[in-house]
Amino acid sequence: MQATDIMIHVSNNLNLEQKQLVENQLREIDGVIAPRFNTEHLLLIYFNLDKTKSSVLLNMVKSIGYQAQLVGI
């Protein structure tokens, strides 16, 4: 397993319920190990590179209707 993490900046102001929805949707993606918001707008996702890609994760957040972009770590 080749695991790594990415950080996604979500521009929208999300309440707790919306953040939990994003985290839960990400957990549905095969290969996602641990998604969590660690600040108001920063979402850290630990995932298996052998099973998914950062673009898939970013596109999932955008598909819910939020403005988001990858952040270099």
Residue 46 lies in a domain: no
The pLDDT of residue 36? 97
How much is the mean pLDDT over the chain?
A: 95
The pLDDT of residue 73? 56
Answer for the pair 45, 31: CB distance below 8 angstroms, yes or no: no
Reply yes or no on whether the pLDDT at 3 is more than 80.
yes
Residue 20 lies in a domain: yes
Reduced to 3 states, what is the DSSP secondary structure of residue 46? strand
Q: Domain range for residue 16?
A: 3-38+55-67
Domains in the chain, number: 1
DSSP 53: -
Residue 16 lies in a domain: yes
Burial of 43 (0-12, 13-18, 19+ CB in 10 A): buried
Report pTM: 0.91
